[in-house]
Amino acid sequence: FAVLMVNYRGSLGFGQASIDSLISHVGVQDVEDTQLAVELALQSELLDSNRIALLGGSHGGFICCHLIGRHPKMYKACAVRSPVINMATLLGTSDIPDWRYTSLGLPYCFERIPSEDDLVAMLLRSPIIHAAKVYTPLLLCVGAKDRRVSPYQAVEYYRVLQARGIPVRLLWYPEGNHTLDGVQIEADFFMNCAQWIMQHLLVDTATGK
C-alpha cells in the first residue's frame, strides 16, 4: 500500500491563518484540498487508480463521506470513524454545538434557534446531500458514548445507503467514545477497517497483492 495523509488547509501545523481559512468553507475547501492531493499523488507516483480507498475519523470521516458522494467512481472502499453526516441533525446532540454555526461563518450564542437559512446552509455542506450518488462500499464505526458526534449520524447514513442496496456495514461499540480508544476497541476497529479495505480492493490477504 501507498498511504497519503492529507494536511488540508484548516488543519493543524501551518498557523492560525491556515486554521481560520476553513471558516465558512467547511465541506468545500477541506474536501477539495484532499481530492487535489489524491489527484496529484496519482500523477506523480506509479499508483493503481482503480484501487483507491479512504480512511478517516471525525472530521476526516466527514471529508471521506463527502468524497465518495462527489467522486463516486474514484474510490473503491471507504472506512470511517465517528463521522459528521448531517450538520443540521447534529444540532443539540454535540458537546460543541457552536461548531455547526461557526464553521459556516454563522454567528452563535447558546440560546440561538437555527433559522431556515441556517439549516439549509448546514445541509448543503453535509455528506448526506450527496448520498444518492454514493456507490463506494462503506464501513461506519461509532461509539455509543460519543458526546462529540452522535453515533446516530452514522445510522442516518447507513439506512439511506442500505435502502439503495449499497454495500454498507455499521459497527456499534457500546463502550466506545468519539475516538474509539481503549486497547480492545481500537484493535477491533482497525482490524475491521483493514479487512474491509482489503476485501473491496480485492487484495489477497496471504500475499498482500
Q: Catalytic residue positions?
A: 58, 146, 178
Q: Are the C-beta atoms of 180 and 141 separated by less than 8 Å? A: yes
Q: Are the C-beta atoms of 157 and 128 separated by less than 8 Å? A: yes
Nearest to 80 by CA among 174, 192, 200, 198: 192
Element of type H or E holding 56: strand 53-57
Nearest-angstrom CA–CA distance, 124 and 92: 19
Q: Are the C-beta atoms of 196 and 77 separated by less than 8 Å? A: yes
Nearest to 168 by CA among 184, 157, 182: 157
Residues 6+ apart with CB under 8 A from 105: 23, 24
Q: Are the C-beta atoms of 33 and 8 separated by less than 8 Å? A: yes
Q: 27 - beta bridge partners?
A: none
Matching residue, cell 496529484: 40
